[in-house]
Amino acid sequence: MQGAAEFMTEIEMLTKVRHSNLVSLIGYCFDDNEKILVYEYITNGTIEHHLRKADAPLSWMHRLKISIGAAEGLNYLHTDVGNQQGVVHRDVKSSNILLDENWVAKIADFGLSKLIDQQTSGVSTRLKGTFGYLDPEYYMTRRLTRKSDVYSFGVVLFELLTGRRAVDTSFREEEWNLANWAEKCVKERRLDQIIDSHIIAQISPKCLKEFVQIAARCLKSSRKKRPTMAGVVLALQQSMALQEQFDNSPQSASFTHIVQHLLFGSRLNSVVSTSASAPVTPSPHRFSMSPKLDKIDPVHLTLNLVARATQNFSPSLKLGEGGFGTVYKAQLPEGQLFAVK
């Protein structure tokens, strides 16, 4: 019964925002009581797909770059929308972060988003979101803040590190909830049980330490102890700088050999407690946020045009299920590709 409200919310939000790490809204259709949103087509699907279903697993460096891009998109939403307002996404998860042809992360699905004044600490609202990603303080108080997105993003970071779902009942009961299990492993210095086996030989110990620390801080039960998304961006950039330094060092090859030989040896168990040497300063460009794009008002499209572009919503063009409807691949006569929800 809330379809029309969520539909208008997404149009309103995506009309206000434009950023290289956000999916762009091209147009919409509201004919004959049909509610249709038309987006730019993102070719490489979701993070969730590539972590769990793709034939070739994402490399660790790919995962770092994806995490930075998604963090920059969220930071823009929280702080740079304009008119002293920010946007809380309210449904940050791996299935709502898409990857384009260059593997650039783009945040999608703004149907649950909420505008919040920059000067306020949050708003009281009905509970919405996805189990496994929900901020526990938001769950308890029904008070939504930017830090609610930060918590959800922390879960995504641990998904990228572990390759696991946010909730997965195929594991032992104490491991069903990724956030709780990851926090426990970090506290007990059992990182050998966390890291995706596909990337274990690729991660620098110092990069791992930095990455785990920022992910764990995002999951703090108290909002006051969580970082801002701007802080998350900087910490992830620092992680990448440490990884790049390691990849370019002579010790990289020998470390990879050792890890492959020992596979989750004691060296990684102690990473979080190991003191880092002199800090690495990332290249200056790492700290420049991804560019905002010129705002473009979405176009009102006719149902006839959308139907023709999707071959009358052909099952053969179905891409998947979005938060509020089926998503189809669409092509205009000129050849442009779009995603239609």
Q: Domain containing 243 — which CATH number? A: 1.10.510.10
Question: Residue 295: which pLDDT band, with cuts at 50, 70 and 90?
Answer: low
Q: What is the pLDDT of residue 293?
A: 65
Residues with active-site annotation:
91
Convert the pLDDT of each residue in 3-44 to its tens digit: 777 788 778 877 878 899 999 888 999 888 888 989 999 999
Q: How would DSSP label each residue in 293-306?
A: ----PPEE--HHHH
Q: How far apart are the first and last CA of the chain?
A: 17
Convert the pLDDT of each residue in 300-309 to its tens digit: 889 999 999 9
Tell me which H or E stretch contains 218. helix 205-218
User: Is 193 a member of any domain?
Assistant: yes
Q: How many domains does the chain have?
A: 1
Average pLDDT, integer, range 162-171: 91
User: Is 150 a member of any domain?
Assistant: yes
152 pLDDT higher than 90: yes
User: Is 13 a member of any domain?
Assistant: no
Q: Where are the beta strands (DSSP E) in 257-322?
A: 299-300, 318-322
User: Is 110 a member of any domain?
Assistant: no
Nearest Cα neighbor of 3 from 51, 37, 47, 54 is 37
Are 154 and 179 within 8 A, CB to CB?
yes
C-alpha to C-alpha distance for 41 and 336, rounded to whole angstroms: 9
β-strand partners of 326: 321
The average confidence (pLDDT) of the chain is 84
User: Is 165 a member of any domain?
Assistant: yes
User: Is 238 a member of any domain?
Assistant: yes
User: Is 64 a member of any domain?
Assistant: yes
- Residue 236 lies in domain: 47-97+116-287
User: Is 264 a member of any domain?
Assistant: yes
Convert the pLDDT of each residue in 52-75 to its tens digit: 877 888 999 999 999 999 999 999
Q: What is the pLDDT of residue 284?
A: 39
How far is Cα of residue 182 from the mean position of the Cα atoms in its chain?
17
Q: Beta strand 85-88 with 123-124: parallel, antiparallel or unpaired?
A: unpaired
The 10 Å CB-count burial string (b at 16+, else e) for 190-207 is ebbebbbeebbbbbbbbb
